[in-house]
Structure 1
Amino acid sequence: MAKRDYYETLGVSKGASADEIKKGYRTKAKELHPDRNADNPEAEAQFKEANEAYEVLKDAEKKAAYDRYGHAAFDGGMGGGPRPGGGQQGDFASAFSDVFDDLFGDFMGGGGGGRGGARQRAARGSDLRYNLRVSLEDAFAGLQKTISVPTSVTCDSCSGTGAEGGAEPVNCPTCSGMGKVRAQQGFFTVERTCPTCNGLGQIISNPCKVCSGAGRTQKERSLSVNIPAGVETGTRIRLAGEGEAGMRGGPTGDLYIFIEVEEHTLFQRESQHLFCRVPVSMSDAALGGDIEVPTIDGGRSRVKIPEGSQSGRQMRLRNKGMPALRGGGSGDMFIELAVETPVNLTSRQKEILREFDKLSEDNNPESSSFFSSVKNFWDSMKS
């Protein structure tokens, strides 16, 4: 049976570029792989045929010979191409490994540069998180605070190289400096982190006695942090380069300060606004008057209570709230009245209240309106 044209096998034209040939092979490899075609007995043969075609067309010299002589270029040993039928498993591994990184590179940590490029020798240090609790007053005014952060710092003994006496690391003999090794498993080439160098690509024959070759040591550092006015719970402050030191001289990570603002005994915060619940007596609510309320900056403000005020009534003090985090003015403060019912009354006080109640039938419009509605409701239910 005549062999199919290699270009036709990969579904590309004769003038296809190297990228188009690779793309065509990738498509066919996915489509025809035996693991995806368990119910198709011809899939394996077609899969090997696609592999054979790609093995020739990916190589510029073999491709030129094929374009000139066709399959005859390899039937008599010309060009040293694959045997008919593509039965050599090693040929498939070679062909498939060219597209392995494109298909799976992101999952293997290679980022598309797995085969050719050497792995980064020095690893970046980890970012660190520090949770910082501040009072509402500090969040209002801002502050400079010193914190202690346990972290990894560059080893002073070896200056971060990890080697004793300033010796230079050498390429790992297991992975030849790649940081990863490959193993053949059936049709697939599987890539793993090198067990000898743990993916660094280099080893240290004489590690530093202080840091044991890591290039960094554990230490508690004191840092001064500027907390700007207006921060709230969830605000994140980044300190670049103040995180964990990198492995073997790698760049330092960052430190992130996460702010949590404590609850306050007097004020409740909603974004830039503050709310303060102020109890007032029945007589003050009925007759009106002035009260003195605190403000978050430690000051005092006088607020006028209108006659006949009810519980829940709010009064606004403009610009007495929290400042905006990055400028733009301040929020407001809201005073919410809570009319307080007196307790532990004396006999005389009770007597006065009963007398007052008899005289105030027309002074409770909300009660009158409510009970009138209740009466209408009951009447409608009866009818």
Structure 2
Amino acid sequence: MPKKNFYDVLGVSRDASADEIKKSFRKLAQKHHPDAGGDEQKFKEISEAYETLSDPEKRKEYDQVLMFGGIPGADFGGDGGRGRAYTYTDGGFDFSDIFSGFGGGAASAQDDGGFGGFDFSSIFGGGNPGNRVQKGGDLTMSIDVTFEEALTGAQRKVTYRIPSTGEEQSLTVKIPAGAVNGGKLRYRKRGEFGRNGGERGDLVITTRVAEHPVFKRDGADVRMDLPISIYEAALGATVEIPTPEGKTVRLKVPKATQDGKVFRFKDLGAPNVKKKGAKGALYVTVKVEVPTRLSKEERGALEEAQAADHHDYRRDIEKLVKDAAKESKSK
């Protein structure tokens, strides 16, 4: 593969403006800085490219070499990449060594030497990053709760370990009434310890709600399917329905109820965890069950009912079938 030139490294065109070069370098420096988990060699490469292209005189000389087919590398423009050792101090990055050959250390907004006045403090917070105050990271864990506990609320005592110190800490977790599967509980300053006096991170706990054999949660709403027979669907019926709280209500199924019909019971769902005192609804969906086995008496009764049935259930479909047949004959 052909060797990349400095414009390729920064991802800009050869006629890019100084602002475009600076903007591209800033973005790449944030991404590849070793202290942020980036690639050290890549960061060195983009730093060398910016060092040359941000200086009008160096860029002019560089462009002349490119014009004649050359691709100067790290040694272009004086000391280039020589003498720039990457050192780490207490987990931070020492920029004084990186930029020592260009204006005496990392350039700032008040220093137009070296890197064209680029303010590295705007990216990395200024000074030695290893001495910066840093907030600790968040810790995560999950808690399993039953369907009923998620409705009424519950408490759990949990113990977790702080990665940096290995110490165990305990906490009583209050699961709110109406907790949902995948919901987040955030406990401030109970996470990883900060650095250099920084505050602790948070402990984020995810609730995992067990499934119920009948009820399904949909936020604060609760849904359930109600199987009924073809006879109940046709003739109507009154059915007792369980509620999520363990009570019962009566549902009057009207005659000629169709499969998939939904009935709504207001305020019989789960507590709304986002709105104190509010509750969702209970939605009951009718599922008409067709028997797979019939007794002799049932079969006889259904055959008599079918013979007496003069309803046209497929009127529109039959019309299309007849039209298609006529069209076929006319061809």
Q: Which TM-score band (shorter chain)?
A: 0.5 to 0.7
Q: Report how many residues are paired.
A: 245
Matched to 1:138, the amino acid is: E
- Residue in 2 that maps onto 1:145: 156
Question: What's the secondary structure of 2:121's corresponding residue?
Answer: helix
Contact 2:107–2:118 (Cα < 8 Å) also in 1: no
Q: Say whether residues 1:119 and 2:131 are aligned partners.
A: yes
- Residue in 2 that maps onto 1:287: 235
Any unmatched runs of 5+ in structure 1?
1-25, 42-46, 49-88, 153-215
Question: What's the secondary structure of 1:275's corresponding residue?
Answer: strand
Equivalents in 2 of 1:96, 1:245: separation in Å?
30
Contact 1:139–1:261 (Cα < 8 Å) also in 2: yes
Equivalents in 2 of 1:245, 1:90: separation in Å?
34
- Residue in 2 that maps onto 1:40: 64
Deviation at 1:291, TM superposition (A): 0.6
Q: Percent identity?
A: 28
1:189-223 alpha-carbon deviations (Å, 9 max, x no partner): xxxxxxxxxxxxxxxxxxxxxxxxxxx74233331
1:358-377 alpha-carbon deviations (Å, 9 max, x no partner): 01223xx5344543454344
Equivalents in 2 of 1:303, 1:260: separation in Å?
31
- Residue in 2 that maps onto 1:312: 260
- Give the 5 Å matches for 1:264-275: 264-275=212-223
Q: Say whether residues 1:93 and 2:117 are aligned partners.
A: no
Equivalents in 2 of 1:247, 1:91: separation in Å?
31
- Residue in 2 that maps onto 1:133: 144
Matched to 1:30, the amino acid is: S
- Give the 5 Å matches for 1:1-383: 30-32=54-56, 34=58, 38-40=62-64, 92-94=102-104, 97-98=107-108, 99=111, 102-107=118-123, 109=124, 111-114=125-128, 119-120=131-132, 124-151=135-162, 217-246=165-194, 251-327=199-275, 329-362=278-311, 365-383=312-330
**What do you get for the CA RMSD once the two structures are aligned?**
3.6
Equivalents in 2 of 1:139, 1:257: separation in Å?
14
Structure 1 residues 125 and 382, CA gap change in structure 2 (3 angstroms): same
Equivalents in 1 of 2:153, 2:291: separation in Å?
41
Contact 2:100–2:106 (Cα < 8 Å) also in 1: no
Equivalents in 1 of 2:326, 2:193: separation in Å?
80
Matched to 1:133, the amino acid is: D
Structure 1 residues 310 and 379, CA gap change in structure 2 (3 angstroms): farther
Q: Which has the larger radius of gyration?
A: 1
Matched to 1:141, the amino acid is: T
Contact 1:102–1:112 (Cα < 8 Å) also in 2: no
Question: What's the secondary structure of 2:268's corresponding residue?
Answer: coil
Contact 1:125–1:251 (Cα < 8 Å) also in 2: yes
Equivalents in 2 of 1:286, 1:334: separation in Å?
21
Matched to 1:103, the amino acid is: D
Matched to 1:226, the amino acid is: K
Equivalents in 2 of 1:221, 1:275: separation in Å?
39
Equivalents in 2 of 1:241, 1:90: separation in Å?
39
Matched to 1:333, the amino acid is: L
Structure 1 residues 265 and 104, CA gap change in structure 2 (3 angstroms): same
Deviation at 1:39, TM superposition (A): 2.1
* Bigger RCO of structures 1 and 2 (CA < 8 A, at least 6 apart): 1
* TM-score, normalization by structure 2: 0.62
Structure 1 residues 93 and 305, CA gap change in structure 2 (3 angstroms): same
Structure 1 residues 350 and 234, CA gap change in structure 2 (3 angstroms): same
Contact 2:183–2:206 (Cα < 8 Å) also in 1: yes
Equivalents in 2 of 1:274, 1:95: separation in Å?
64
Contact 2:106–2:120 (Cα < 8 Å) also in 1: no
Deviation at 1:96, TM superposition (A): 6.2
Deviation at 1:226, TM superposition (A): 1.2
Matched to 1:113, the amino acid is: G
Question: What's the secondary structure of 1:94's corresponding residue?
Answer: coil
Deviation at 1:302, TM superposition (A): 0.7
Equivalents in 1 of 2:301, 2:130: separation in Å?
94
